Structures are given as structure tokens and as C-alpha cells.
Structure 1
């Protein structure tokens, strides 16, 4: 057993439990009676309008006559998803593997393609989510309901505990990476170009797609990517089985894994957050991110891939699982 496994075994014996409810800690039902969250109306209106536009695009898009544009959107969306899952999540948030400069450049550009928050904000929120999962200090606390965990948390001011505990999250390691420093400095130009301008220009200029459908398809792809990521915070914290730790809320969710490139095996991920696979796999079943990372590992661009031993996983399953493991 390696040193990492020995440390993990000790951690497994005291795996994080769902927070105990006390008279002073509000439950989901009681929460809304004791704390009212001020809405950020510009976010509410913006999120509503962009979703409405995307919905119109989905309903009216002539799929049979614009196949190239549809395939292009799928490719760009997939690239953006990889930037989130392999980059923001598994590399920069959890440091579950190391990446050489060419791969880090690919990851930061594909993350820009996803059009999400600044990387330092993404990492801070995610590390806080793991450290304070399902408490008031969790930025997208699933105890506040599906809608809040999915998108509502972006429409309102943060709970005071999120602000207070968020200051304890150390993200200084990010700025030891020159790629991250460059991205943070030029965040808006990179985001606007790779998420919106370039994906819109390609179909319009290369195969003479109409400007209307070039724009609409870009918006639909962008909104889809956001919701696939958000499902990890909402659906994967509410629906599914818990073969690794029955005492926490994150669950194994096949649909989320399909949509989020392997990020839906969430009971496993919260049990072993440092595993680069974010799942227990003997193959690449519904985990495209791991497939790509292993491919990059073969050419040496990804290395020091962390993963628990089979013995440790089995021990955790026997001691903490809900009996659903196969």
C-alpha cells in the first residue's frame, strides 16, 4: 500500500458525513423562513433572456438543412466541456494530475470556449463546495433545492457563510501557473473570442451559414454547456445511488455523466475527489474526459495521474456504501 493509500485509508474511516441538523441550523424547509436572499436582477434578467433565446433556437433550428452547423456546435460544445472537466475541475481545482505546457494551453483555451466564470472564481467556489458541501457555506448548497443548486445561486447574492468561509479557500497555487496568469489578465477578450466570436464566425465564413443561424446556434450551444455543468451541482446531488458513501448527498447519475463528459459519478468523486478519473472505471464507460486524459498521458502531456488502489476502493464500498455497487 502506497503512502497516498495509507493517508486515504485514514480519511476513508472518517469520510465527510452529511451535516447534522441542530435546532440552530435550518433545514431546507425552515431555511426560507429565516433567511431571504437578495436577488441580483441583472443576472436574473440576463439568464432568463439567454435561455429564452436558446429555447427559440432549439425549437426553430432546421436541423436537416444545417447539418454542418449542428456538427460544428457539437464539436465546440464538446471542446468547451473538456476545458471545464479536465481543466477547471480535475487539474486546477483538485490537482488530480499534472499537465505540461501544451496541454495546459489547450485546457485554458477550451475553458474559455465554455464561457464560464473567471478560473479563480470557479476554483474557489468548487473547493469551497467540497470543503463545506451541503452547508450554508456551500455556494450551490443542494439543501436549498434543485433550482438554487442548478442556477439560482447565480441569480442572488451569496449567503454570508459563503463569503466568510470562501475567504479561507487558498487559491494562490493557481497563480504559480503562467497559463492561468495570462488567462486571468486577458479573461474577457479570450472569453468573448473563443466562446462567441470564433464559433459564430466559422459557419458564417466557411460554409456560408446565415448570420442569424450562426448566432442562434452559438447561443444554444453556450446555454447547453452551462446547463450540463450545472446538472452536476443539482441533479447529481439529488438523484442516484450511493455505492461509495451513503452518508453524503452526491450520487451516481448516469444521465449527468452522459451530458457532462463523465462528471456524474458524483458519489465516487466526493469520496475520492483527488482521483483524476472522477469515477471508478475499468473502461471508459460514459467518461470521455478520462479517455482524453489517458490519451494525453500516453504522449507525456499529462502525468502523475492520481488514483486510489483497488483495495482502498473496495474497503470504502464495504464500510460506507449503500450496497448498490456492482
Structure 2
């Protein structure tokens, strides 16, 4: 799954005097339009073996956000302060909205086209996606389609073979590998770019993200329940921090830890904990084996709330043409390629 906290402008080119060794070629290829004042830092990064250069603005913003919000929350709890129950419930609702925007919307609908949707639900999913506060939909979909096409290779935007931290959040702190840029440009995005509603959404995305991810969730507890501004803002920031990390956990934990009932030769695994926090997205061995299945799992609703949401939408006629793997295909695939944990994991 794909997120980004900020869009970074690339300044002037860095000049590194020494001819790069073979292991540094891809790193050097990333230095186009890099500022000259970073040249000493870039030399150090290469000496330390970085695959691609650090995006320092992103690194500082993401790190500060986590440190400050965590410190703010601990200070709040240490001093015995508490938010109103209504505020907590409202933030949980916004968190659920954000989750469905990513899982049912950006992932299962727009990336994998695993089902079709009518306009009212489509608009609702776009609002939900804006609530998640992640990247523009076009970028999210392109990166995730590339992830599936080139999973665990240098062209994978969050290649888990580069380590847990990189696949979780480090990929947002570093420039994209040249292979990611090259292969990403080949991804067919005509269905996204050719959709007028999605184009309007992406053109106004920053405003919609500000409104639904931050402003409304902060203002409503104050206006409706008399919550303090300080506590309301903290609740919004904690919810946003959790939403981001729950999404990132699919790229990290669910690619490293768990069973592989359907394909033992790939890294994605069935991860119960990730499925709980990511609304059913942690059954990742199944998903990478049958990426076009709208359920993204065989398991029932308790373990896959996003499927419950989509089945409810289908029941009222807002979602239709739901693609899914047949029981016969699942069984045959698991018995042939799985790790023998099928029906026991």
C-alpha cells in the first residue's frame, strides 16, 4: 500500500567529482536536479552504501511528525487529561472512513478493478479516500499497480528486500530507484486519467484532503460537543498517525511475517494482526495470488471488514460485478503452490 506526507520540489543538480563504482551507478542516476550544497552529504550516503539518496525534507517532516505527536500524546496522558467519549467515537468514525477509502476505494476498486461501482458510492469512496490524507489517487494507484507487477524487485516502490524500515516508511524518505521511475512510466493508467470525476478529484485533492482529513475532524468535536481545541487537534493528529502506520504495515509486516497458504514462493504472507488494523488487507499471500478478487481473502467478515462493507454496498445495488476466485481455483492453487498451511492458518 502507498502514502506520502508531502510533495517535494527538486532543486539544482549536485556534482559529484569521482567516477561512480558499479554499485553506485543507480544512486548517481538519482541525483539529477539535486542541490549542490548536498554534495558532501551525498558522498557520505554513497560511502555508507545507500541504494538511493535520502529525501531530507520528507525525512525531517515524517520524523518530526511522529516524534512531536507521540510526545504530545504521552504528555497529555501523563497529566491525566482525557478527551470526551464523543470525540473519541467521532475520530474512530473518521478513521473507518479513511480505511475504507484506501481499502475498498484506492486499492480494490481503482487499483485492481475487482468490482464496479455506481456514482453515489464512487463519490463516497473519494471522500473517504481524501479523509485518509495520503497521496493523490493517480499516484497511489500507479505505485500500487507497479508494486504488484514488479513485487520485491528494484522496480517495486517499497521493495521489502531492502528491509523492514524501507518497506514501511523509508521508501517515502528516499528518492525513487531509477527502475521504479522507468517501469512506473509504463503502467497503463488510462482508466484513471480517462475518468472525469477522478480528474476533478485529483485536481482539487489538496483542498479536499485538508478539509476531510484535518479541518472537519478538528472542528466538529469543538462545535458539537464543546471539546477543547487542544484535545480535538491532538485527536486528529493521533488518528492520522495511526491511519498512516496501519496502511504502511501492509507493505512491511504483511510482506515479512505470516503463513503462505497459497504461494510459498512469494514474500507476501497471511498476517492476522495487520488484517485487524488494516480492515482485512493483511491476508496478503491470498491477495498477491489472486489480486483481482474483491474480497482479498477467503476469511469471514470479522477478519475482513472491508469485504463486509463491499457486500453491504452490493446488497443495496451500489457495487456490482464483484470478481472472485472460485473455490476450485483456490484449492488447486493452495495444494500446488502453498506451504501446507491452507485451511489451518
Q: How many Å separate the matches in 1 of 2:181 and 2:331?
A: 37
Deviations 1:114-162 (A, max 9, x none): 0000001000000000000000000000000000000000001001111
Q: How many Å separate the matches in 2 of 1:34 and 1:209?
A: 49
TM-score by length of 1: 0.88
RMSD: 1.6
Find the counterpart in structure 2 of residue 274 from structure 1: 292
Find the counterpart in structure 1 of residue 323 from structure 2: 306
Q: Does 1:230 align with 2:245?
A: no
Q: Is the 8 A contact 2:83 2:227 kept in 1?
A: no
Counterpart of 1:133 (choices 147, 151, 154) is 151
For structure 2, the 5+ residue unaligned runs are 1-22, 24-45
Q: Is the 8 A contact 2:53 2:174 kept in 1?
A: yes
> How many residues matched?
296
Q: How many Å separate the matches in 2 of 1:113 and 1:285?
A: 23
Counterpart of 2:261 (choices 243, 253, 266) is 243
Find the counterpart in structure 2 of residue 292 from structure 1: 309
Counterpart of 1:47 (choices 62, 71, 75) is 62
Distance verdict in 2 for CA 1:41–1:301, change over 3 Å: same
For structure 1, the 5+ residue unaligned runs are 1-23, 25-30
**What displacement does 1:64 show?**
5.1
Q: Does 1:117 align with 2:135?
A: yes
Q: How many Å separate the matches in 2 of 1:187 and 1:175?
A: 14
Q: Is the 8 A contact 1:239 1:253 kept in 2?
A: yes
Q: Which moved more, 1:186-195 or 1:57-66?
A: 57-66
**What displacement does 1:171 show?**
0.9
Find the counterpart in structure 2 of residue 15 from structure 1: none
Counterpart of 2:167 (choices 149, 157, 160) is 149
Q: Does 1:187 align with 2:202?
A: no
Q: Which moved more, 1:63-72 or 1:292-301?
A: 63-72
Q: How many Å separate the matches in 1 of 2:216 and 2:69?
A: 18
Structure showing greater Rg: 2
Matches within 5 A, 1:15-30: none
Q: Which moved more, 1:142-151 or 1:63-72?
A: 63-72
Q: Is the 8 A contact 2:83 2:231 kept in 1?
A: no
3-state SS of paired residue (2:146): helix
Find the counterpart in structure 2 of residue 13 from structure 1: none
Q: Does 1:38 align with 2:53?
A: yes
Find the counterpart in structure 1 of residue 28 from structure 2: none
Q: How many Å separate the matches in 2 of 1:144 and 1:135?
A: 9
Q: Is the 8 A contact 1:53 1:219 kept in 2?
A: no
**What displacement does 1:32 show?**
9.6
TM-score by length of 2: 0.83
Distance verdict in 2 for CA 1:200–1:41, change over 3 Å: same
Q: How many Å separate the matches in 1 of 2:81 and 2:128?
A: 25
Q: Is the 8 A contact 1:80 1:111 kept in 2?
A: yes
Q: Is the 8 A contact 1:63 1:70 kept in 2?
A: no
